[in-house]
Structures are given as C-alpha cells and as structure tokens.
Structure 1
C-alpha cells in the first residue's frame, strides 16, 4: 500500500486493522525506512503491511460487584 498525505503509522493501522495495539510495532519492523520520513508521511511511500493479526482480548478483573 502507499501512504496518503498526512498518514502516520497508527492511522494506517487503524484504517486497515481497526486497532493499533501490537500491529504498529509489526509495521515498523517491516518498514525500517519509515524513520527517514519522521512521524507524518507524505503521499506515495510504499509500506508493507503484516497479515491481519488476531486481536487478543485482555482479561478484565472486576474489583467491585
């Protein structure tokens, strides 16, 4: 995929996976060249995305009933 003007890694993750936890790090690992562009990307940078990761549910601990 290619970036849109103003994209950030977390916005790309939200757009394609609907969450950022854990997947943002995977995108950065697959695309070490992104650090050359700073935090906000211009149009047209090619980015490799990981396969859609499974979203894990965190355990909720109820303190009061």
Structure 2
C-alpha cells in the first residue's frame, strides 16, 4: 500500500483520478483503505497522510442482446 500526503484542494475523487485514471470504484477503494476519511469532508485538509491501496480497473465485457 502506498502513502499519499494531501495537497490543497484535494478530494478523494481527485486523488483517485490522478492515481488510477478513474473515479468509479477507485474512490470507494481509497475510502475503504482509510476508515474515517469521509468524516474529513469533501475537500481534504492539506498535509493529511492517506493510504492508496493497490487497485486496478476491472474491465468486464457483457454481452447484450437487443433482439431475442
């Protein structure tokens, strides 16, 4: 697990996007790895150290039939 020190204006979503390239799923992984982080508010305080979990985008292919 990697550690990250927040900068002015950081949000969990922004950190997720910078680190993993997406927010969906990645933001949730960051919040799970840092219990209580959501209580810090939307904009995280500068200088806070948080854990960035090993996480990757899982690409799922679904077959969709538009006609039966």
TM-score range, shorter chain: 0.7 to 0.9
Deviation of the 1:62 alpha carbon: 8.0
Which of 54, 59, 62 is residue 56 of structure 1 equivalent to? 59
Q: After superposition, what is the alpha-carbon deviation per residue over 1:5-61, rounded to whole angstroms, capped at 9, x for unaligned?
A: 111111000000000111111110111131231110121111101113233145374
More helix by percentage? 1
RMSD between aligned residues? 2.0
User: Which ranges of 4 or more aligned residues in structure 1 deviate by more than 2 Å?
Assistant: 57-63
Aligned counterpart, 2:16? 13
Aligned counterpart, 2:45? 42
More strand by percentage? 2
Query: How many residue pairs were aligned?
Result: 64
3-state DSSP class of the match of 1:39?
Answer: coil
Unmatched segments (≥5 aa) in structure 2 = none
TM-score (norm 2): 0.75
TM-score (norm 1): 0.77
Unmatched segments (≥5 aa) in structure 1 = none
3-state DSSP class of the match of 2:37?
Answer: helix
